[in-house]
Every structure is written in C-alpha cells, then in structure tokens.
Amino acid sequence: MKRLRLFAAPLFALWMGVLSSSAVAEEVSINAWLMRLHEASRHRTYTGTFVVSAAGQMASARIWHVCDGDQQVERVESLSGTPRATFRRNDEVVTFFPESKVAVTENRESLGLFPNLLKSNTAGIGDHYQMKLVGSERIAGLDAEVVQLLPKDTLRYGYRVWSEKRSGLVVQLQTLDPDGKVLEQAAFSELQLDAPVNKAKLTQMMAATDGYRVERRDLQKTTAKAQGWDMAKAVPGFKPMGCYTRPVALLAGAAGRAEQTMQWMFSDGLATVSLFVEAFDVRRHSREGATELGGATRTHTRRLDAWWITAVGEAPAPTLALFVQGLERKK
C-alpha cells in the first residue's frame, strides 16, 4: 500500500495526544476523532468490497468512491440479494434495479448534516459515550486502530471501530449490545485506497436512466409541530434532526398503499431513531410492542388513538419504547 499518503498526520498526532489525556478533553477527542473519520471518507478515493453481517444474514457490495475537490461520486453495487446499483453524487442518489428496470432517485440531504452536528457545541457525543483506544489490527490488509465507544447509560449500543491508521477511513464497524456481543458488523473485506476511479465514467453511468422507469421519492420537509406532534419527554441524548412526510409504500414496493407517513428523526450522534406516525388502519396494524428485525435495528410500535406510531432505530428496546411513549399529540 505504498500509494497511501500521510494525509492527516498532524491531526492524527493530535488525536493520539488527546486520547491519552484526561477525561476533560474527552468530548473534544471524540468529536475530533469522528470528524477525522468523516473527512477521510469524503476525501479519499478508493474501491473495495463491503460486507454487512447482521446475525444470521450477510450482504455484500462492491464500492467505488472518488473525490474531486468538493464533489464526491460513489457507486455501490450489490453482490447479494436483488441486483441493484446505487450511485451518489453528493446528496443526489440514484438506485438502479436492472431486473425491474426501475431507477429510484432520491435526495439525501441528511448526508450533509453530520459534520454540522459535530461542530455544534451541543453535540455532546462525549456525554453519552466513552471512547477508548483498544489496540490495533489488520483489516483487509490495512493497519487499523481499534477504538471502542461504549455507552455511559443503557439507552444506546456500543461500537467498535476499526479506522485505517493513516487515513482514518473506517474499515470495520461493529455494533455491540450491552454484554459486548456483536449485533451487527459492517466491514471492508477488501479495500484499495487511492485506487484509480474514473469520476467521469461514474457520473455518466449515474445519468444513464434510458430504458428505466424513473421513480422519484420525494420527501416533504416539515416540522413535528406543524404535524401536531411533540416530544413530551425527550430521550436523553437524542436530538431531533429533521422531520419529513413521505409515501412509505414506494420504499417497500407494497401494493396499493401510498399514504403519507410522518418521519421524525433523532440522533445522539452515533445512533439514529426514526419515529413514524401513520393513520391507524385496523387491517394492517395489529401488533403493538417490540420487534427485532435482526442486527442492531429494532422497532417498537404503539397505537395512540387514531395513530399508529413506530420507532425504528439502532437502539436497545427500552430506548425505542421511551420514544413511542414520549410522543404526544398537540392538536
């Protein structure tokens, strides 16, 4: 891997210094460290094979990522499940389904939110997670630092992160339950940093929707308040990140259903929870309570008068229960 450049050496040194210093600096260190990971992922050019294994199931994809100044272009091609290729240029996302000849276009504006979250003074990831450098390991042929972020309360999961030593790129991420068991793992099984990736070609492929039926999945930006909802009892550490209405049916391909669903997102910086509110429908909605869907993502459902509320997120069951219980109708 002689192509690796010492991209972030000064920052890296700083980070190591912060890591070994007192707890007072901890928040700074977590934020700085996460920022470095984030920047690494944006500014590097690489190709690799990515494997997600969530207990019992495994999915893999091939990725091409290129960065050119401020523009990032990315192609992710699934190697398992339904054949599909997802292209992303900054916040613009197009997913091609060659079998059904459908191309789904979305605007994931949320992708840009993360750095802002970190930069804001109120982010406080360090209030809820403790960071610990636990060693180093080779992953996909690269030297990686292994860092653990363990929750300070029982409302969230822990994480173990493998970050490539020189670039900071996350090469493996594990989500841990309170007993330290791995709920889910996402990792590069193979990664080539600074690989030659042709941006023009990716952009061209992304625009090649000829012969495809193009579906737009438009989200309407809204506020919970405008929709008549309020979080009466906030779940510690989780901040509201945005609220949308959307037709959920388009996502699942479920037939004959395109009702607007409100999606209110919350994050503590590492974990994300979505609160969905739909009109209650006796034919579809029968099962209240908690469900595990495999891996780190869980759901919790509750009926509230004429509404059906579902929390979905990478958080322990009681946390999701708090979310659905905390939601209150204001109209």
Q: Find the angle CA(195)-CA(8)-CA(10) to the nearest 5 degrees.
A: 160
Per rule CB under 8 A, count of chain residues that contact other proteins: 115
279 touches other proteins (CB under 8 A): no
Member of 1, 253, 279, 330 binding other proteins (CB under 8 A): 253
16 binds other proteins (CB under 8 A): no
Site string for other proteins, 170-209 (x = CB under 8 A): x-xxx--x-xxxxx-xxx----------------------
Interactions with other proteins, residue window 287-316 (CB under 8 A):
287-295, 297, 299-301, 310, 312-314, 316
At residue 250, φ and ψ (nearest 5 deg) are: -55, -30
Stretch that binds other proteins, among 9-17, 193-201, 222-230, 281-289 (CB under 8 A): 281-289
Stretch touching other proteins by CB under 8 A, among 19-27, 167-175, 203-211, 227-235: 167-175
CB neighbours of residue 109 within 10 Å: 14
The verdict on 269 binding other proteins (CB under 8 A) reads yes
Give Dmax over CA atoms of the chain in angstroms.
62
Q: In this chain, which of 12, 244, 307, 323 binds other proteins, going by CB under 8 A?
A: 244
| 282 touches other proteins by CB under 8 A | yes
Which region holds residue 288: left if phi is over 0, alpha if psi is between -120 and 50, else beta? Answer: beta
CA distance 118 to 2: 32
| Orientation of helix 26-43 relative to helix 9-20, angle to 10° | 150
The answer to whether 89 and 200 have CB atoms below 8 angstroms apart is no
Question: Does 249 sit near other proteins (CB under 8 A)?
Answer: yes
38 binds other proteins, rule: CB under 8 A? yes
Q: Which is nearer to other proteins, 177 or 328 (CB)?
A: 177
Tell me if 107 sits within 8 A of 95, measured CB to CB: no
Nearer to other proteins by C-beta: 3 or 287? 287
Asked if residue 165 binds other proteins (CB under 8 A), the reply is: no
> Which amino acid, residue 19?
L
Residue 98 half-sphere exposure, CB side, CA atoms within 13 Å?
Answer: 10
